[in-house]
Amino acid sequence: MITPRTSRTEILQKLQKKKEQNIPIFIASAGSGLVAKLLEKAGADCINTFSGARLRANGMGTMSMLWPILDSNKQTLDYTREDIMPAIKGDAFICACLNANDPLKDMRMVLNDCKAMGVESVSNIGPSISYVDKDSEIFRVLTKSGITLDNEIELLKLAKEMDMVSIGLAFNMEDSLRIMEEAQPDLFCFHAGTTKGGMTGYDSGETIEETAARTEEANKRLRAIKPDVLLIAHGAAMENPTDAQYMLNHTSVDGIWTGSSTERIPIEKAVLSTAQEFAALRRQS
């Protein structure tokens, strides 16, 4: 197996061309090689790998990665190297979502490992302190112990210095503006919240109209800082293609990012339905 290679220049040229042609950029997460292969075949531009996707593939919710169940960076790099890279043909590029607050790893070495396996893009979502509510005790304890957004910003800055594509992400306006101002990422995703739907999705009660309105509010302020940034929509009420179309019609995003919507939820439906048919079979008397 020879893993296809690409570069920051090639990736950004491809994405910019799609924007000029008014074709939405399509980013999707994969927790297994099979899903990655199908996403690439379907036309995904970017396949994200991160510990949350791997946990989803094992039937757990994405947010379970916030707990010390696993070494997030080790899991991401291991399954990216062993499961994802051998499964793709090179039509899609891989973005590794990393934990910039890992106290046991030098991020420059982690990025070198990514480049060695053919990964030319990284994001700060694996996991991000931006997940945690700022008015919570756990947020105060984490930041006091050195788990900060500063480390995520430095990761994104270092990625660009190392000629990699940087994809910033945050869950709230304050963190979004900080990342945009200080890291100047190539792409940015305002994460509207955990995707609803399926067995482990979380439904906050927000409508797609509300998700779109919050996303567009962030988009306007982000583009005021970096007009050429590519903005991507993700999460909350954007559960299916109809919802994603609403986001494209009612916001200024350049594309969409799917996780559970093209991974966990379709698998749940297909496997459960087919298995129920098999389970319902009976011998003919």
- Secondary structure class of 147 (helix, strand, coil): coil
Q: What is the CATH number of domain 23-277?
A: 3.20.20.70
Q: Residue 115 has which token pair? A: 């480049």
Give the helix ranges, DSSP H, for 145-240. 149-161, 173-183, 208-225
Spell out the domain ranges in the chain: 23-277
Q: How far apart are CA 260 and CA 56, in angstroms?
A: 8
Q: How far apart are CA 199 and CA 154, in angstroms?
A: 36
Helix %, strand %, coil % of the chain (to 5): 50, 15, 35
Q: pLDDT by residue for the chain (285 residues), tens digit each?
A: 787 789 999 999 999 999 999 999 999 999 999 999 999 999 999 999 988 776 776 666 666 566 666 789 999 999 999 999 999 999 999 999 999 999 889 999 999 999 999 999 999 998 899 989 999 999 999 999 999 999 999 999 999 999 999 999 999 999 999 999 999 999 999 998 877 666 666 667 889 999 999 999 999 999 999 999 999 999 888 989 999 999 999 999 999 999 888 888 898 899 999 999 999 999 997
Residue 243, H or E segment? helix 241-250
- CA distances to 9, 19, 192, 216, 263 from 35, in Å: 26, 25, 24, 30, 7
pTM: 0.91
